[in-house]
A and B are shown apart, each in its own frame.
Chain A
Amino acid sequence: MTDTKKLIQLLYSISDTIVENAQFLTDLDAAIGDSDHGINLARGFKKVETELPALEDKTIDAVLKKTGMVLVSTVGGASGPLYGTAFMKAGAVVKGKSEIDINDFLAIMDAAIGGVQLRGKAVEGEKTMLDAMIPANNAMKKAFDDGKDVHSVLQAGVEAADKGVEYTKSIIATKGRASYLGERSIGHQDPGATSFTILLKTIANAY
């Protein structure tokens, strides 16, 4: 499914998409947070891009770990540690591999979700990125168990993540800065759930 070369191409695409959507994500954050989500993520992924050329002959886990570390040290706020941890934990489950398949990708998703939960101390239903990540992961696992091909598995994930983003509009934030708004956070979609969905779509579009 994916070797280091393809992973690096994917990371360039993810960076491009995040930069394109930076203003959109920041506007979503302005409504319920501190209006920096898109700006911060774009800064982080642009920095990741500068590191990619040196990683071409490295293993998958080395690329993921480096990406995580760069995000942690450049994004800041809460999304830096969250995305950073997700990538670092993802790297840890494919240690030493220079090529991964869909099974590995599902393990990566499990590890990334575990990392985000550990770092953010959040569960589903708190209006966070987990509200897109967890349903997406469940849908992908189901599609995989049903014998679907890589393309269909990833598409199932994207559909579920989109629904998750919609769901965040209906609930009160109980984690992060949006939690101070209480009921006023209803009606707004979560910026973190949105940025994850954008990221997953970029991956899905490549298969």
Chain B
Amino acid sequence: MKKIINAVDQVENQMIEGLVKAYPEYVYRVEGSDVLARAHKKEGKVALVSGGGSGHEPAHAGYVGTGMLDAAVPGAVFTSPTPDQVYEAIQAVATEEGVLLVIKNYTGDVMNFEMAADMARDEGIKVDQVIVGDDVAVDGSLYTVGRRGIAGTVFVHKIAGAKAEAGASLEEVKAVAEKVIANVRSMSMAIKPCTVPAAGTPGFELADDEMEIGIGIHGEPGTHKEKLQEADQIVDQLLDKILADLDYTGSDVAVMINGCGGTPLMELFIVNNHVSDVLKEKNINVYRTFVGEYMTSIEMEGFSISLLKLDDEMKALLDATADTPAFKVL
């Protein structure tokens, strides 16, 4: 394992400290916890709290700020934060209007966040939640716990965050978050795995000429391996799955080309070049495109495509001001 770290057991802590030192105007660390909360708490609005394992930077702390999250809860690398940590976050940002938890659909995340919500309700805090499952690689059948939450989650942060910032009620913020979840689909691939610092070895193996299709965001293997193809062919394969799952024909979409941590922007733009062409060909109008690192898997090389089918409300909220360390619409 080759990483620029000091000690395996200090990775999360020193990452949090460094992040706070970089963006003190946006976030502060809630004392005695790992929670990163909005530097200037805003009353009179619903507070948004999200989180998950560390290793997905800039998610989720990078989205704390105006028009997105009020607090982020990072757990250990690729491990859900514990309920007491999530509870700290809820307590730190709770307002009269209530708190909405944005949870990615993993068994551990859902349980830990729900426990925290129970604890907060016992204290009289109004809490509700949404669960994001945008990954079309995973079959959402009766036989699994459902689709995983991946990069499409950032659209939930953005749009629900804008709704909350505008002063909507908890019910309204939840409703728009649910609408984003119902209209966003994603799929990923990788050409090189990542290594969790505490594990020391990669989560899966890939030969020089192989790629893994349908990976999750925790270095877990995907649906299958195959021979590496050209970028356009890879895009076709991922888009086919996404477009088969939801009818986007004739609609406006937001596109996110998300790098997994080790993929250069150069390659992400090559990906977007073809994504954009294919969508045009299929009579799908690209309303707004985001290319960059939004939901990474440490140093994994690969990318995901997310497509969000927009209506007028979502468009307006997508265009609303967001000012956070890692996501700005100004």
Residues of A within 8 A of B (CB): 34, 36, 69, 72-78, 80-82, 84-85, 119-120, 172, 174-177, 179-180, 182
Given A81-B112, A119-B114, A180-B138, verify A76-B76 contact (CB < 8 Å): yes
Which of these, A72, A77, A180, contacts B79 with CB under 8 Å?
A77
Nearest-Cβ distance from residue A70 to partner chain B, whole angstroms: 10
Which of these, A76, A179, A180, contacts B75 with CB under 8 Å?
A76
Nearest B-chain residue to A174, judged by Cβ: B143
Nearest-Cβ distance from residue B136 to partner chain A, whole angstroms: 14
Q: Which of B80-88, B180-188, B293-301 is found at the contact surface with chain A?
A: B80-88
Check if B144 sits within 8 Å of A74, measured CB to CB: no
Check if A172 sits within 8 Å of B143, measured CB to CB: yes
Nearest-Cβ distance from residue B56 to partner chain A, whole angstroms: 16
Nearest B-chain residue to A180, judged by Cβ: B144
Counting from the closest, the 6 A-B pairs by CB-CB distance are A81-B111, A179-B144, A73-B84, A77-B108, A78-B108, A78-B107
Scoring B residues 73 to 98 as 1 if CB is less than 8 Å from chain A, else 0, what string do you get?
00110011111110000000000000
Which of these, B75, B84, B142, contacts A174 with CB under 8 Å?
B142
Given A72-B84, A77-B79, verify A119-B143 contact (CB < 8 Å): no
Check if B111 sits within 8 Å of A82, measured CB to CB: yes
CB contact list, B130-148 vs A, under 8 A? 138, 142-145
A-B contact pairs, 12 of them (CB 8 A): A74-B82, A76-B80, A76-B112, A77-B80, A80-B108, A81-B108, A84-B115, A119-B111, A119-B114, A120-B111, A177-B107, A180-B138
Chain B residues closer than 8 Å to A69, beta-carbon distance? 84
Chain A residues closer than 8 Å to B81, beta-carbon distance? 76
Nearest B-chain residue to A72, judged by Cβ: B83
Check if A72 sits within 8 Å of B82, measured CB to CB: yes
Which of these, A80, A172, A176, contacts B112 with CB under 8 Å?
A80
CA of A196 to CA of B84 in the docked complex: distance in angstroms?
24
> What's the dominant secondary structure at chain A's contact region?
helix
Given A76-B76, A78-B108, verify A174-B115 contact (CB < 8 Å): no
Residue picked from B81, B82, B107, most chain A C-beta under 10 Å: B107
Nearest-Cβ distance from residue B134 to partner chain A, whole angstroms: 16
Given A172-B143, A174-B142, verify A76-B79 contact (CB < 8 Å): yes
Nearest A-chain residue to B111, judged by Cβ: A81
Check if B108 sits within 8 Å of A73, measured CB to CB: no
Chain A residues closer than 8 Å to B83, beta-carbon distance? 72-73, 81, 84
Check if B108 sits within 8 Å of A76, measured CB to CB: yes
Check if B144 sits within 8 Å of A85, measured CB to CB: no
Which of these, B82, B114, B220, contacts A73 with CB under 8 Å?
B82
Chain B residues closer than 8 Å to A72, beta-carbon distance? 82-84, 115
Check if A179 sits within 8 Å of B115, measured CB to CB: no
Chain A residues closer than 8 Å to B76, beta-carbon distance? 76
Chain A residues closer than 8 Å to B75, beta-carbon distance? 76
Nearest-Cβ distance from residue B197 to partner chain A, whole angstroms: 14
Check if A80 sits within 8 Å of B107, measured CB to CB: no
Nearest-Cβ distance from residue B201 to partner chain A, whole angstroms: 11
